[in-house]
Amino acid sequence: METNRDDFIIAIRSAFLKKGTKQRFSLIVLLFFSITILVLGKYNFKGIVFLKTALNEIVYRSSFIISAPENFIKNTYKLTISHINLYEDHKKLKRDFKVLQAENFNNNFIISENKMLKSKIDDILDSSSEILAKVLLDKQSPFLKSVIVNRGSKDGVKLGMAVLDGEFLIGKVVEVNFRTARVLLLSDLNSKVPVSIEPNSVQSILTGTGEKFGRLQYTQLDNIILNEGDQIYSSGSGGIFKSGIPIGKINLIDESNESYVKFHSDFTQLRLVKIVLYENVN
């Protein structure tokens, strides 16, 4: 039994020695092969040059294929992060632009009024209440434009109150229920709002057309020259709205000298609105 175990151990050692010999032989052959290629490559043998080119091509192609999935994941991740950041920046810039646009409109109106030295005794001073409301439903026919909001007499809503989208005038309350109210938009055919056209403080009436734009009528001055880009504000005449609320701008003057107004707000995208009550100066 002891002899058999010794023979087994000797056999294992012999196998390891044979394996080590083979490994050393393989390393020696690989080293010799590499040196041979380097030496022969200096003398520009065509076969060696072709072999080096083939080996380089295999290495480069293999590296490209192996790194392709990793590069794809990295590039996709970077592109996704960049897109998310760009979208957030775009939303922030839109919000900031609307605020600055409203402030600019108000400043232009104040400057124009100061130049004209206008003192409106029966104008409307300021809001005594402001109610935030959510648009529930659009009640639209081909020509009638109105929306239903989730505030009513229970919340202090009254007939004739002005309705704003942010800082822009969009209509007035024409029907009040206990928990809801109907708002007539400026684009409705029945809508008629006294407005001031700046920078020349021309008084006019803005009427709805049933479309996404309004039309100016009954300007106070004959042969007055209006220009595309002139800004439209509420004039405060009639005691309905406060003066100086931005509404839109003249977007088109046709061949018959009809002036059409593009509203600052998109009435098809209304979600939250402000219902405001203005008080007359006593």
Whole-prediction pTM: 0.56
Alpha helix segments (H runs only) across 43-143: 46-116
Residue 222 lies in domain: 124-280
**Residue 11 belongs to a domain:** no
Residue 164 within any structural domain of the chain: yes
Residue 180: its H or E element: none
**With contact defined as beta carbons under 8 Å apart, do 243 and 234 qualify?**
yes
Q: What is the pLDDT of residue 93?
A: 83
Q: Indicate the pLDDT class of residue 236, thresholds 50, 70 and 90.
A: confident
Q: Is residue 16 part of a domain?
A: no
pLDDT in tens, 73-101: 877 877 888 878 888 888 888 887 777 77
CA distances for 7 relative to 10, 20, 207, angstroms: 5, 20, 113
Q: Is 249 helix (H, G, I), strand (E, B) or coil?
A: strand
Whether 71 is covered by a domain: the verdict is no
Task: Give the pLDDT band of residue 38 (cuts 50, 70, 90).
Answer: low
Domain contains 116: no
The CATH number that applies at residue 161 is 2.40.10.340
Domain count, the chain: 1
80 occurs within a structural domain: no
Distant-in-sequence, close-in-space partners of 109: CB < 8 Å, separation ≥ 6: 196, 198, 231, 233, 243, 244, 246
Q: Looking at the predicted structure, is the pLDDT value of residue 183 above 90?
A: yes
Say if 153 falls within a structural domain: yes
In a domain? residue 56: no
CB distance 142 to 188 below 8 Å: no
pLDDT digits (tens, 9 = 90+) for 253-269: 887 778 899 999 988 88
